[in-house]
Each structure stands twice: as C-alpha cells, then as structure tokens.
C-alpha cells in the first residue's frame, strides 16, 4: 500500500511542545496564573498558551488532545443535569 502524502499546511508548533506545556499547567490551579476560576477549561488553556508561548491554538483542538495526555475533562453537575434532560 502506497504512503499518502499529508494534505494541508504543516503545524506551526509541535504537538509535543503544546502537550508538555498543558501538562505543566495542569499541575497548578487556574488561580495561580491570575485567573479567578476554580478549575481549568480548554478556553483557559488556549488563552494561556497564547499569552505564555505565543501559540495560537483553538480550544476545540485542546479538547481533542487532553485525553491523549491523560487529562480527563469533567462537566459540572449542572451541565450534566441539562444533558440528561435532552
């Protein structure tokens, strides 16, 4: 079977660098870098990656990568109740 070339623009930042930074950030509470939140969100990770590393990455990409690096995303209880109703 022939190897298919990848289509599209290559990534600007290596995935390993971004996942490494996410792992480091995960060890700290979101309030540590100055945010008034009690837990992390993919949007918050995206903001910090842009601020600290000048890496522009969409929060949906971060949501995809979190399980790959062992970070499990949990929904708040209120959101779970809303999902069960629908």
Predicted local confidence at residue 52, as pLDDT: 85
| Contact partners, residue 58, CB within 8 Å, separation at least 6 | 46
Predicted local confidence at residue 43, as pLDDT: 87
Please give the model's pTM, rounded to 2 decimal places: 0.63
| Contact partners, residue 37, CB within 8 Å, separation at least 6 | 30, 31, 44
Instruction: Sketch the domain layout of the chain as residue ranges.
Output: 15-26+38-85
Predicted local confidence at residue 77, as pLDDT: 59
Predicted local confidence at residue 79, as pLDDT: 52
Structure confidence by residue, pLDDT tens digits, 6-64: 777 766 677 888 888 888 888 887 777 666 666 778 888 888 888 888 888 888 888 88
């Amino acid at each position: 079977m022939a190897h298919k070339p990848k289509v599209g623009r290559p990534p600007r930042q290596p995935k390993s660098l971004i996942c490494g930074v996410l792992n480091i950030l995960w060890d700290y509470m979101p309030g540590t870098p100055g945010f008034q939140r009690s837990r992390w969100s993919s949007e918050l990770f995206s903001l910090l990656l842009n601020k600290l590393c000048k890496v522009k990455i969409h929060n949906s990409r971060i949501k995809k990568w979190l399980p790959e690096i062992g970070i499990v995303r949990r929904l708040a209880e209120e959101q779970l109740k809303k999902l069960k109703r629908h």
